[in-house]
Structure 1
Amino acid sequence: MSTESGPQDNSELLEAVARRRNFAIISHPDAGKTTLTEKLLLYGGAIQQAGAVKARGEQRKVTSDWMELEKQRGISITSTVLQFDYTGNTINLLDTPGHQDFSEDTYRTLAAADNAVMLEDAAKGLEPQTRKLFEVCRMRQIPIFTFINKMDRPGREPLALLDEIEAELELTPWAVNWPIGSGEQFRGVIDRRTREVVLFSRAERGKQSEERHLSLDDPELLDLVESDLLDQAVEEMDLLDAAGAELDLELVHAGELTPVFFGSAMTNFGVRPFLNAFLEMAQKPVARLGHDGPVDPLSPDFSGFVFKLQANMDPRHRDRVAFVRVCSGRFEKDMTVRHARTGRTIRLSRPQKLFGQDRAVVEDAYPGDVIGLNNPGMFSIGDTLYVGSKVEYEGIPCFSPEIFSWLRNPNPSAFKNFRKGVNELREEGAVQILYDTDESKRDPILAAVGQLQLEVVQHRLENEYGVDTRLEPLGYQVARWVNGGWPALEKVGRIFNCKTVRDAWNRPVLLFKNQWNLNQLSEEHPALELSTVAPVVSGVEPISL
């Protein structure tokens, strides 16, 4: 297929990239992420009513929580992609799991995002999960927008919430709007840039709320809002102005300053003002680092990378979907691309646009978009697809797991399905798989960031592959990769108080019972370099069970 593009194609690409905004929402469980996601979709006209996808009778389920276990527990375990149009822009919302046991999948999703929205509960402020995910955003230097949620419930002082962000994350907050009252007395917000007051009435559940806009000096305002609440809000805004930080978009895009918004997703307070300001300030799709330096999104040749694999999204058809973030050029249905790791040529005949669990065949896609490719087992996380001269993007690293269990298959006749399930779930990144260095111990070791991840693997092996399994905990809590691999480890000789295992790329991993044992080893062998993040692998096939 020809990849030459004329001036018209290029202006089309330029316009498509300028229109796109892509972001992931990061938060602690229960901060209201699924609710905020639904309200954004409601304003984007992508759904007509929150909780919109009707299931049997009147029971409702949220568009983005689709896996059976998620429905049972009411948490998001997998990341989904939701694309919608709003005021002439195309928005790609990467929905990430909020449950703390799934931070590895969230990390991979952040690899595909150009912006992040940090969602905080006004009563709780920064929570452990949010801090962890913030570190990942900082590592990638992506802009962070903060939405302080649940303002209509009793919460902490807004100024204290801003101080906490500055002190703990070393991130300068800039309040774009400021709340009038909070909890039962929450009356709305004042836009600091225009000094316009946006009053909110509680929306009928699930519908868009009515918003009333008045100028701050409109005499009618005092009939609608108690004067003490208004005076306090204005006084606090004066304090912020005196503190002197400016809203500088360069600092926002460098990940050093965060625009802050106040609202309540559940009652629809402040979601539309947030969306409008976000579109104005967010970063458009940016150049990404390939093996030969940054690749411009406006380069005419298509390229993209796989940031997530998902098996059995549709229980009626056993399928696997590779989620590809488009990085440059225009993607077209039926185009032939090259797979950087294997060098093979692949025709992409059934690309899909994803919206939670619903999909439609996609004709074309542009930088910032995410497409789903049916994956018969040829893709791994981090793989690059390209047209034209070779591009290979940086891979996505593995993060240090904290829970380790042998996965036993008590039924030898089910070994074939057991092996298939374990290999597919590893490729998908549902869990890391480690192997004993003793070849006679064939059972895989599951390595996860949290216990729930192991339960999900067991649940899926049983429901999707028909295999009952047993978990046997190993009693280790800390994992470190050895820089320099096996030669570096052999040079040290015998080591104590840790277990040596292999990862799926046959690299040595040391498991420790606790941090103390790790510190002891580091003191005894200062020349041995250990890493919490697995080196990125490209071009190497992983070990299968």
Structure 2
Amino acid sequence: MHGILQGRSVVRTGARISQNAILNHAPSSKQSRAHYAAKKMITIHKEVEKIRNMGISAHIDSGKTTVSERILYYTGRIEDMHEVRGKDQVGAKMDSMELERQRGITIKSAATYTDWKGTNINFIDTPGHVDFTVEVERSLRVLDGAILVLCSVGGVQSQTLTVNRQMKRYNVPCLGFINKLDRAGADPKRVLKQVREKLKHNAAFVQLPIGLESKLSGVVDLVKEQAVYFDGDNGEIVRYDAIPGNMMTEVKAYRQEMIEHISDGDEIVGNMFLEEKVPSVDDLMAGIRRSCIKRSFTPVLVGSALKNKGVQPLLDAVVDFLPNPAERVNMALMEGKEGKTDSIHLDPSRSAQKPFLGLAFKLDIGKVGQLSFVRVYQGRINRGDWVWNTRTGKKCKVNRLVRMHSDEMEDVTEVFAGDICAMTGVECASGDSFVSIPDYKVSMEPIHVPEPVISMSIKAKDATKHSDNFSKAINRFTREDPTFRVFFDPEIKETICQGMGELHLEIYAQRMEREYNTPVVLGKPKVSFRETLLAPVSFDYLHKRQSGGAGQYGRVIGALEPLSPDRNLDLAFKDETKGTNVPKNFIPAIEKGFRASCEKGSLIGAKVSGIIMRLQDGASHVVDSNEYAFINAATGAMNDCYDLGRWQVLEPIMTVEVTAPIEFQGAITAQMQRRHAVVTGSDSAGDWVSLFCEVPLNDMFGYSTEIRSATQGKGEFTMEFCRYSPCLPSTQEQLVQAYQEELEKESGEVVKKKKRN
């Protein structure tokens, strides 16, 4: 309906309640909702124009899951709405994990599908916390559009910036939805300004709120120039009416502003604007759609999901403005001649007889085995078909095809290009591509996986009792989440887990206890320190043992010297002997004893490096000399050097790059100085600054949390190994003291054990 409606109200609805019931103003009864749910009126359309694949992304606590819950309710997928934190012991449908309901945050992305006015909508609710950013990353990789939810009080926040960069990376069109207009301090106009300035979007309101905070009663559609109200117990009755008289001036001003921004993003509307023609409603709707798909214009809608206002028009905007799979240009990599890789366009037509190509973007390992979430980019696949993994070349049978509804599975027999489904019976890793013809050498571009930023040691509380379950849990979680990595460090003899933040690792520790009955202990990992020599020291050691029969005899003479600083990770051995005092066949044994003694130094028990042993002379015995005797001689010589020499501790120095908005430059510089950093340079680009430093690794633990606190979550850092350098005297003193206490504790336990025996 176009223009301003005068004197009468018109009621429209989705598929939930019958038209007659609404026109007669009959309330929505539980019986009618249950009847709808029981019928499961979800038609799977084969027309690609009737498909929308979209995600819901935002900063933590902006209301994404609440928006998802309302979408499911208004489209008839659930019968009742529930709160995110699960105070009614049920919780939101898309938060299926117990941990999610307890903490009130989304941890795993959840997929579902529904129907709105004849259009199938596949959508994914993603986490908002930065620690689970890979869930957003791989979801946006396969989606055609997104809803960027913004808090009307918080505005553009740290994770909003991250999500925006991810959308830009995959060229995903988006709608803006300013949520929580019922909150005290709600200011949607300030949020729109931030979207333009911080996110650099050509954005404009396509709706205005009618009232704010406790006075929020509806929204004004600026395109169709009509007020929209949401009646009924749960806002399920959508009522269109005339615009309130006190808003007419504001509506005209913002409608003109909207047209100007659309004309900046769309050539056709832009030409009409230059020719001073007044675009019709159809012209504006088409212009918004074209520019939104090109990402040259971002329509911004408003509402309050918690108060059930503005969600149905948001669904209309998903259908009207976001692209269908055929309107997105999807590229694949094809192995060409001479091993060259060519980019090819994929055919999204659901009727085209093209080979099947799908991308496994997410794994979930549970009771049914491995569930592989797949976006189909070309062709079709049926249950029972055989597919080939393009990375491994392995042939797999699709035992089961399902569409996911959060944690529920609904079986289907076939899926087409543009669909999102899940397969069982297929072994793969996140980011693998599947084809239906083994010779079809085509694969999708891989998913960007951010590098972990934090490391902690991890071990089962009771290693003997829970070792099997601990291994199973680690194997499962590392396959599901590519940002969660676990490895054993032989130097420090600890199992190390890496992740995107402390919460990330804490969640996996809790899941191991809950799902595998395996309590684990997380701790600060040991740093791989080194010990080295400060000044040359000479040795002359005789190993002699006689206990009847053949004995042991070996003598080594020489010097131990430090290597140059650029070789402080090396160990060198040089044979400078002359004559036959030390037979040449025993030289390897002496080197072996030397290198074995360097595995554990005398200061802190760390590896010894940066030294060279010069063997200058020695002695042997015709009968008693053997390899074992010279190994012990070299070991004894090293022990003498440990006692007589001057040693120091080396620590790993990391090259750190910190990136943050320029207003936080002083804060991050002060942080680095407190961590004994040497600033080597800085670089600024626009509103962002990068600080380049060299920092001891031992001082970098916990920095991921500190930088987020100091920069409102906007700062991030990367770190890589640079070199080993002498540590501060205070640090060395602490390390030596801790090592001595550890030795005393171990010796005390040995004495107690002997007494018990």
Normalising by structure 2, we get a TM-score of: 0.57
Structure 1 residue 463 corresponds to structure 2 residue 514: yes
Q: Which amino acid aligns with 1:51?
A: H
Closer/same/farther in 2, CA of residues 14 and 276 from structure 1, 3 Å limit: closer
Quote how far apart the aligned CAs of 1:132 are. 0.7
* Superposed CA offset, 1:48-94 (max 9, x none): 222299x99x6332111111211221211101111112211111011
Question: For the Cα contact (< 8 Å) 2:72–2:114, is it kept in 1?
Answer: yes
Alpha-carbon distance in structure 2 between the residues aligned to 1:191 and 1:82:
28
1:133 equivalent among 163, 175, 178: 163
1:158 equivalent among 188, 198, 205: 188
Q: Which amino acid aligns with 1:426?
A: T
Question: For the Cα contact (< 8 Å) 1:143–1:252, is it kept in 2?
Answer: yes
* Superposed CA offset, 1:147-194 (max 9, x none): 111223334443332221111111110322222332233232222222
Aligned residues between the structures: 469
1:33 equivalent among 34, 43, 64: 64
Question: For the Cα contact (< 8 Å) 1:176–1:259, is it kept in 2?
Answer: yes
The structure with the largest alpha-carbon Rg is 2
Q: Which amino acid aligns with 2:454?
A: I
Q: Which amino acid aligns with 1:432?
A: F
Alpha-carbon distance in structure 2 between the residues aligned to 1:432 and 1:420:
14
Map 1:418-497 onto structure 2 (within 5 A).
Answer: 418-429=470-481, 431-433=483-485, 435=487, 439-441=490-492, 443-474=494-525
Question: For the Cα contact (< 8 Å) 2:450–2:483, is it kept in 1?
Answer: no
Partner secondary structure for residue 309 of structure 2:
coil
Match of 1:186 in 2: 216
Quote how far apart the aligned CAs of 1:214 are. 2.4
Match of 2:178 in 1: 148
Alpha-carbon distance in structure 1 between the residues aligned to 2:157 and 2:431:
29
Partner secondary structure for residue 123 of structure 1:
coil
Map 1:290-309 onto structure 2 (within 5 A).
Answer: 290-292=332-334, 293=343, 294-298=345-349, 300-309=354-363
Alpha-carbon distance in structure 2 between the residues aligned to 1:348 and 1:518:
56
Match of 2:408 in 1: 358
Match of 2:317 in 1: 277
Alpha-carbon distance in structure 2 between the residues aligned to 1:333 and 1:287:
27
Gap runs ≥5 in structure 1 = 1-12, 217-224, 477-491, 496-508, 526-530, 535-545
2:398 equivalent among 348, 351, 354: 348
Question: For the Cα contact (< 8 Å) 2:513–2:519, is it kept in 1?
Answer: yes
Quote how far apart the aligned CAs of 1:493 are. 7.8
Match of 2:291 in 1: 251
2:136 equivalent among 73, 83, 106: 106
Q: Which amino acid aligns with 1:275?
A: L
Normalising by structure 1, we get a TM-score of: 0.78
Q: Which amino acid aligns with 1:418?
A: F
Structure 1 residue 268 corresponds to structure 2 residue 295: no
Q: Which amino acid aligns with 1:185?
A: K
Alpha-carbon distance in structure 2 between the residues aligned to 1:59 and 1:464:
19
Alpha-carbon distance in structure 2 between the residues aligned to 1:407 and 1:373:
32
Please provide the CA RMSD for this pair: 3.3
* Superposed CA offset, 1:296-320 (max 9, x none): 22352211111111233xxxx3633
Quote how far apart the aligned CAs of 1:199 are. 2.8
Alpha-carbon distance in structure 2 between the residues aligned to 1:255 and 1:168:
16
Higher relative contact order (Cα pairs below 8 Å, separated by 6+ residues):
1
Closer/same/farther in 2, CA of residues 467 and 512 from structure 1, 3 Å limit: farther
2:435 equivalent among 386, 398, 407: 386
Match of 1:405 in 2: 456
Alpha-carbon distance in structure 2 between the residues aligned to 1:125 and 1:195:
26
Q: Which moved more, 1:459-468 or 1:36-45?
A: 459-468
Alpha-carbon distance in structure 2 between the residues aligned to 1:473 and 1:256:
47
Alpha-carbon distance in structure 2 between the residues aligned to 1:364 and 1:494:
62
Q: Which amino acid aligns with 2:175?
A: F
Q: Which amino acid aligns with 2:458?
A: L
Quote how far apart the aligned CAs of 1:374 are. 2.7
Gap runs ≥5 in structure 2 = 1-43, 270-286, 335-342, 528-565, 570-651, 659-671, 682-690, 695-716, 721-757
Quote how far apart the aligned CAs of 1:463 are. 2.4
More helix by share: 2
Alpha-carbon distance in structure 2 between the residues aligned to 1:475 and 1:86:
55
Closer/same/farther in 2, CA of residues 475 and 155 from structure 1, 3 Å limit: farther
Quote how far apart the aligned CAs of 1:346 are. 0.9
